[in-house]
Structure 1
């Protein structure tokens, strides 16, 4: 004879709990704030782009290139994501880098991966379960990168639209896009800059197209063009370019490039320039390209070997300057002061003296 039906005890629930602990009031408020922040497609897109961007970080210019909304709108949504603690921000020079907050990686990976590609329903129960990912932090960028938003070609197309408008009547959009793709490829090579790649590629392409336009119409140049070349374009040539820009007062156009560009600016260079009130917030190492060389009136080399060909009709200077790479800060200051002396003489040589009225 069967005994009375057993009932679940307090210590043996009939169903396993779905949550480790019930949320406190404070936890519930924080969770609701984050859900509210996610309840907007633009913010979800921003999170996907940032997570899928190189290095897991992006700056507003990268985001503007990827989205069709205005910069103020992007800034508003970034603030909402920061206020909800889904994003963190870190300033580097004039750029602000946005990262997905580390403590939200697991949750965002699960939520966004589920909604982007929900698991199939169990035919018997109708429930949906996904096998736990052993390393959700490592798969966060991968799952978000699969969303259709993180598309480099689409971003480059949007940048090309902006540049084509800027150079309307000078270059066709096809030419602009070709130079943009080439610049992007040059900059993403192992020896060159990696951070903020889309933003830097846009600046680099604009510089190259401007130089190319000048070579086609020399009369369009109002002031002489000076090009500084060293090996890595992270130290000496950047110092010289910053100092000439600072001292010349717009009487010359200044470029710099490297025969083997580094991944980033030498921090010591930024330090010694800041000490004398010279800002190089937007500077970045870039390769030596034909159109920039062709456009230059004066070319100053500093230890770049034979990378820069000797072309007729140009003035050349070769400055014997020590390489600041891995040098002490005191030595970098000495190099800065030595270059500054050369710059003062160069300005005297190449700029006309204003006659008194």
Structure 2
């Protein structure tokens, strides 16, 4: 096995752990793993990993990361948070001078900025890539929240509010007047987060951060985890997910249903349009009439790579292949379509009638 020293940059402990476990399962590389951005003191107790403290000022970030990489002989950087992509992109040549390859989806700063901001992503996808997106409004002033909701059809239509920056997570939903909130909460989406327009405007609206409001017309949300290289798509793993969480739901199943061809078409259009590489996540809404809308593009590894691993694709391992220019362009994955996974304190998996579990 080839020895590789990798620095994982991630702010979310759960995602960081999933990346660790995926790297540790590699059959090709013997990874020495370093971490930055996570402050969970328990992680090193259970995993062979060295964690570095975060810098207090973002302006010192690149110098600090360059020193970490140079001092520890880091071969590859895997960023799993959007906020770190632009600094790595701007300093790409500096890292390469010390033989460290940052894994970033695209080296064009303008395209990276579009990927990192939801309002710009939706605008670019709609007007340049000609992909259907939800009806949306960009809210820069809290005084515009009520107006934006009204413009999008509330209360006749449900509305979803999200932070515009992809590095932030979380969504709040205004349900249209015809919906039974109690039934939705107990029977359909037990982890759904609902709000009222008045409360949202009062509690959230005074934030200086930009907000994107979208008309929520969704029967099913699909998350696609995509392996790509320079605009070419090599693998797409798809599963239905919770439209509110932006993360893998507690129960997931790898599915290749009647909507897969539509999802595949959208995915390939985005990958080619941006010239994307490595691992990209996408969220796509399908309404009751089968119409698809691109909701989000996540330009880095996410929680769901653990499901992808069990489903037949080790994304981090293949990304390292790409970084080393060793990726086999004839690669065709064998995906375990129909694989079911439930996460509680451990993972329960069900595939073709066989049930097994893996420790968390």
Instruction: Say yes or no: TM over 0.5.
Output: no
Greater Rg over alpha carbons, structure: 1
Greater strand fraction, Structure 1 or Structure 2: 2
Higher relative contact order (CA 8 A, sep 6+): 2
Structure with the higher fraction of residues in helix conformation: 1
TM-score range, shorter chain: under 0.3
Please give the TM-score of this superposition, normalised by the length of structure 2.
Answer: 0.22
TM-score, scaled to structure 1: 0.22
